[in-house]
Structure 1
């Protein structure tokens, strides 16, 4: 991929794929961390005179935090000190008209990209190129900048659909993350320790298997839901309330895969020795081998 410094953006229409997917409480975004992360890229493009079209997703269909990008526009406007127009459209006539109306140094943000059915599923790049999203917007764009590192593993129209049609450029966030990953993945220094956690268990299992089989990891520390899945794979019981929650999330289906990884690399995958629960308003850390394990039956981790 190209770097931001490789091109002159003055008067050029640039599509910036960001990942502004943020936590929401009571219908309001409660963290601007991901906005702050892409500000250097946005500021650079606007200062260079780009006509900036920002695209992001927010959550998934039917989830409580699946909202429009109107708040995203407000937050960006406040952080930048200039208006970022909220366009209640993705690739339709109205969106295309607003893109054409942009002047150098102006920015707009499209509606939540996942409001378009094409953006919800991952497909090969050939299929992504044929989507209405790509075919409608490509003629209006000069450059495409990808700063959506957290979503970069997905093969979806806004992320890969323009890759063979327009110059694809790394934003500053993407560039820094790629450099860090390259250093971690290719270094000959030891020990190489990976910390895997969070809610995307399927991705973490694939990463664990990859780096262990390729000899690029000496140790993997697990936490969050990833740690819980591996803990179940080791034969520990995490209580009825947690099993019910994990079943709803489809995580119990991944226990066998985690067990296969442990069978081959058991000494190199470490799991938590205790988990915390909210017991009567207080944080209580429960050792897996203690008599307090009964708390897991009633209180989720």
Structure 2
């Protein structure tokens, strides 16, 4: 039977054999990638986050995704360093977590990343983490415009604060914890980006915010390559939605529940890249964005004609 197949192939035109071989190789490559994705997403066992270290540092820990991370990581038996600008909110989150997980050790750091004193954040973080086995950093810093605006209408202080918090603050916090991770040869960094930068072709009326989140995405890719040899895993998660302030109590609970689900998906198996739901949302958003751009272009051409 094998010899018959070989004879049949030899009797075919050479160009057809070459094209069929290329098609087979392409199919095998795609199938292998798909199988790897299925294993990594659904079959690979959970990561024990304490393998990275017994402490996690979370910025932007008083609301939204950062608060959800704090609750989730306490559930995974990690001690927490919570960083935020509002001492009252930090105290509230700390009490909530310790009520649910009494054995969790919690330190709080009050710091406003939008202030002129933000240049000193590295020394503050280094002092707060001194002597602690910090194995996980959740970089959840992020602010945006108070309302959608064209770039020329945005006050300079507003967009400078966005750059100072989203870009400079995240970079300095990362630098502050990297030295200890390198010394221990283990660690993980999860940077919270945005679908505004990673999924959508553009994000007009929130230009500076999208640009700073694009920086976070590229920073994560580069850090992953630089430090993977040191046993440090870096990834950027790009949720397409996120909330920090809710209008009423019911909205807050619903939002927080959805963020807990998102965080559960991220921490289930820490790895570089997005989880499957983020990939799916990013793909859909990208396709919709391209479709909208194409339709807008066609309408503009028709209007000109």
Q: Same fold (TM over 0.5)?
A: no
TM-score norm. by structure 2 comes to: 0.29
Q: What is the TM-score normalised by the length of structure 1? A: 0.30
Task: Looking at secondary structure, tell me which structure has more strand per residue.
Answer: 1
Higher relative contact order (CA 8 A, sep 6+): 2
Structure with the bigger percentage of helix: 2
Larger radius of gyration: 2
